[in-house]
């Protein structure tokens, strides 16, 4: 679980260790990555909205 | 090390010359509203961030090219990935971007807040003039280019004391210190109402209404232009804003309202031929002349000649309704909203009797008013 989150975070950031990437592709199943990706996209949208609200105060 | 110093000095020189260029009118104006000042500051902050990034990146690059050149026996490193370096070069731009986005968002939200305005002005783009309607005040006007066509064509020298191609017959008059909301739309194609000193560049789109607002701090004349290519006379529809003190604005508005009421009363009376001709020549000179030309010769095939035009001469009804409704699918716009009945009657009468079109007949404002109400 934590491994999936870490890998999705790395994908959002755009940088991943080669070894970790290999491991994810060889051992992981795709569905948990997809779910984590969608959820994290929502969190990102929330964060951007939060920054926008704070910025205009 | 010495090379690095040289590069840094070069960077400093670049920044210095940029500063000089900016101070000499190459930059955007600070403007005359609170928001235009904020936009200017944002622009400058982001500009200097970009300059710093450019100096650092190219400095490191040129230094490396020079210091580690092959003739000095440099050997290229051969490795595939380095997560730490990648994290650093991702995190730094991220921080820079968020750092720029925070103040920019704050300004953007203020720009979009057009609520609680003291005055609403509708700005309507039209090929090739602007119309201003002070909503709820009973005052509306058409703002045409005031530079004579003869100067544009080069038949007479340009008047150096005037503002060539940046002058209009009717400036948009606005009060200082008040929040003015603009509603933008267009009658034909997309135009863009652009006044740099007010930090407004807003598209006017047919069928849509865009919003923007200003609160001008200083009285003065502010000039702008259409910023969206809109046809052959795109360059000839400038914008002039005259910002005045509130009392002066109220007086101006009242006098305009009175004049509009007087004009409305004039619709019902019988007009003399000479009155209609005089008024018609004025209207022709501001509205029609750009396409149909000074002598009514037009510019065929897009803009037909009016002088000696058979259809026009034989059919006054057709003539009037063409001015009112325009020609569908052609360049001729409908003037039913742009000109009032007096102006339409006058310009029809004028074009039926000028440049050898001696029909001798006149069209009365009351007839036009009747048609408009149909």
> Which residue ranges make up each domain of chain A?
2-55
pLDDT tens-digit profile of B197-208?
A: 999 999 999 999
**Mean pLDDT within B79-98:** 88
SS3 letters for B71-104?
A: HHCCCCCCCCCCHHHHHHHHHHHHHHHHHHHHHH
Q: What is the pLDDT of residue B35?
A: 93
Q: CB contact, 8 Å: A2 with chain B?
A: no
**Mean pLDDT within B97-126:** 90
pLDDT tens-digit profile of B9-57?
A: 777 777 777 777 777 678 889 999 999 999 999 999 999 999 999 999 9
Per DSSP, the three-state class of B167 is: coil
**Mean pLDDT within B56-80:** 90
- Assess whether B91 and B166 both reside in one domain: no
Identify the residue among B106, B110, B113 best suited for mutation to test binding to A, counting A beta carbons within 10 A and taking the highest: B106
Of B264, B296, B321, the last residue of a domain is: B264
- Assess whether B124 and B260 both reside in one domain: yes
Q: CB contact, 8 Å: A18 with chain B?
A: yes
CB neighbour burial string for B292-310, b if at least 16 within 10 angstroms, e if fewer: bbeebebeeeebbbbbebe
CA distance B53 to chain A (A): 21
CA distance B68 to chain A (A): 28
Residues forming a β-bridge with B172 = B241
pLDDT exceeds cutoff 90 at B282: no
Q: Which candidate from A15, A55, A56 shows the least CB-CB separation from B86? A: A15
Of B264, B288, B316, the last residue of a domain is: B264
**At B46, which CATH number?**
1.10.287.90
Question: Which residue of chain B has the CA closest to A47?
Answer: B98
Q: CB contact, 8 Å: A51 with chain B?
A: yes
Per DSSP, the three-state class of B26 is: helix
Residue A35 or residue B155, greater confidence: A35
Q: What is the pLDDT of residue B321?
A: 86
Q: What is the pLDDT of residue B221?
A: 94
Determine, for residues A55 and B106 on separate chains, whether the beta-carbon distance falls below 8 Å. yes
- Assess whether B53 and B133 both reside in one domain: no
A-chain residues near B109 (CB < 8 A)? 52, 55-56
Q: What would the two tokens of residue A40 be? A: 């994290």
- Assess whether B46 and B135 both reside in one domain: no
Range of the domain at B300: 267-373
Segment among B58-67, B227-236, B357-366 with least mean pLDDT: B357-366
Place of tokens 């609200």: A53
pLDDT exceeds cutoff 80 at B265: no
- Assess whether B281 and B369 both reside in one domain: yes
Identify the residue among B38, B81, B82, B110 best suited for mutation to test binding to A, counting A beta carbons within 10 A and taking the highest: B81
Determine, for residues A55 and B86 on separate chains, whether the beta-carbon distance falls below 8 Å. no
Residues forming a β-bridge with B191 = B204
Residue B2 or residue B107, greater confidence: B107
- Number of domains chain B contains: 3
- Assess whether B240 and B311 both reside in one domain: no
Of B112, B146, B171, the last residue of a domain is: B112
pLDDT exceeds cutoff 90 at B82: no
Query: Are B215 and B177 a contacting pair, CB within 8 Å?
Result: yes
Q: What is the pLDDT of residue B1?
A: 64
Q: CB contact, 8 Å: A15 with chain B?
A: yes
Q: CB contact, 8 Å: B77 with chain A?
A: no
- Assess whether B206 and B295 both reside in one domain: no
pLDDT tens-digit profile of B311-345?
A: 888 888 888 888 888 887 777 888 887 788 888 98
pLDDT exceeds cutoff 70 at B295: yes
Q: CB contact, 8 Å: B113 with chain A?
A: no
Task: Report the alpha-carbon distance of residue B171 to residue B238 in Å, rounded.
Answer: 10
Q: What would the two tokens of residue A12 be? A: 């959002």
- Assess whether B129 and B75 both reside in one domain: no
Q: CB contact, 8 Å: A47 with chain B?
A: no
Please give the share of chain B, as a percent, with pLDDT higher than 90.
40
CB pairs under 8 A between A and B: 29
Residue B194 or residue B275, greater confidence: B194
Q: What is the mean pLDDT of chain B?
A: 88
Residue B286's pLDDT band, with cuts at 50, 70 and 90, is confident
Strands, E assignment, chain B: 119-126, 129-134, 139-143, 172-175, 180-186, 191-195, 200-204, 210-214, 220-226, 239-244
Q: What is the mean pLDDT of chain A?
A: 87
Task: Report the alpha-carbon distance of residue A41 to residue A11 in Å, rounded.
Answer: 11
Burial (CB < 10 A; 0-12, 13-18, 19+), residue B263, is middle
Residue A28's pLDDT band, with cuts at 50, 70 and 90, is confident
Q: CB contact, 8 Å: B80 with chain A?
A: yes
- Assess whether B315 and B240 both reside in one domain: no
Expressed in percent and rounded to 5, the helix, strand and coil fractions of chain B are 50, 15, 35
**At B275, which CATH number?**
1.10.760.10
- Assess whether B153 and B176 both reside in one domain: yes
**At B190, which CATH number?**
2.60.40.420
Q: Which candidate from A13, A14, A55 shows the least CB-CB separation from B105? A: A55
Residues forming a β-bridge with B134 = B121, B139
SS3 letters for B302-317?
A: CECCCCCCHHHHHCHH
Task: Report the alpha-carbon distance of residue B142 to residue B123 in Å, rounded.
Answer: 10
pLDDT tens-digit profile of B348-365?
A: 999 998 888 888 888 888
Q: CB contact, 8 Å: B85 with chain A?
A: no
Q: CB contact, 8 Å: A50 with chain B?
A: no
- Assess whether B239 and B135 both reside in one domain: yes
B-chain residues near A52 (CB < 8 A)? 105, 109
- Assess whether B132 and B95 both reside in one domain: no
pLDDT exceeds cutoff 90 at A42: yes
Largest CA distance in chain B: 98
Determine, for residues B105 and A17 on separate chains, whether the beta-carbon distance falls below 8 Å. no
Residue B3's pLDDT band, with cuts at 50, 70 and 90, is low
Q: What is the pLDDT of residue B175?
A: 95
The enclosing H or E element of B275 equals helix B273-283
Query: Are B284 and B332 a contacting pair, CB within 8 Å?
Result: no
pLDDT exceeds cutoff 90 at B98: no
ipTM of the complex: 0.76
Query: Are B185 and B154 a contacting pair, CB within 8 Å?
Result: no
Q: What are phi and psi of B117, to 5 degrees?
A: -80, 150
Q: Which candidate from A14, A18, A55 shows the least CB-CB separation from B90? A: A14
């Amino acid at each position: 679980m934590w491994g999936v989150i870490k890998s999705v975070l790395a994908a959002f950031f755009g940088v991943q260790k080669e070894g970790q990437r290999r491991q994810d592709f060889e051992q992981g199943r795709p569905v948990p990555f997809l779910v984590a990706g969608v959820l994290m996209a929502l969190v990102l949208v929330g964060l951007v909205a939060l920054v926008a609200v704070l910025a205009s105060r | 090390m010495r090379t690095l110093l040289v590069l840094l000095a070069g960077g400093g020189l670049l920044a210095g010359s940029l500063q000089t260029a900016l101070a000499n009118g190459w930059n955007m104006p600070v403007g005359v509203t609170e928001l235009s000042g904020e936009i200017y500051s944002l622009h400058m902050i982001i500009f200097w961030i970009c300059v710093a990034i450019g100096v650092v990146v190219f400095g490191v690059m040129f230094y490396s090219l020079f210091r580690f050149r092959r003739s000095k026996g440099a050997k290229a490193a051969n490795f595939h990935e380095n997560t730490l370096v990648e994290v650093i070069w991702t995190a730094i731009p991220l921080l820079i971007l968020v750092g720029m986005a925070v103040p920019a968002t704050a300004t953007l939200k203020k720009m979009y807040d057009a609520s609680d305005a003291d005055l609403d002005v509708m700005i309507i783009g039209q090929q090739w003039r602007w119309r201003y309607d002070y909503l709820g005040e009973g005052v509306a006007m058409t703002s045409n280019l005031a530079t004579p066509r003869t100067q544009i064509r080069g038949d007479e020298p340009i008047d150096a004391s005037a503002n060539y191609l940046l002058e209009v017959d009717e400036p948009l008059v606005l009060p200082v210190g008040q929040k003015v909301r603009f509603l933008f739309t267009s009658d034909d194609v997309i135009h863009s109402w652009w006044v740099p000193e007010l930090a407004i560049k807003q598209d006017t789109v047919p069928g849509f209404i865009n919003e923007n607002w200003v609160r001008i701090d200083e009285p003065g004349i502010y000039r702008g232009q259409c910023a969206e290519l809109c046809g052959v006379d795109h360059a000839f529809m400038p914008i002039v804003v005259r910002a005045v003190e509130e009392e002066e604005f109220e007086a101006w508005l009242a006098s305009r309202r009175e004049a509009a009421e007087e004009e409305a009363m004039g619709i019902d009376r019988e007009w003399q031929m000479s009155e209609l001709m005089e008024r018609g020549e004025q209207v022709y000179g501001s509205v029609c002349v750009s396409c149909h030309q000074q002598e009514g010769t037009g510019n065929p095939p897009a803009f037909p000649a009016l002088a000696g035009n058979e259809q026009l001469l034989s059919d006054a009804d057709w003539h009037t309704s063409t001015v009112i409704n325009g020609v569908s699918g052609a360049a001729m716009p409908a003037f039913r909203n742009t000109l009032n009945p007096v102006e339409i009657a006058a310009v029809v009468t004028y074009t039926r009797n000028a440049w050898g079109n001696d029909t001798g007949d006149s069209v009365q404002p009351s007839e036009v008013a009747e048609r408009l109400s149909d």
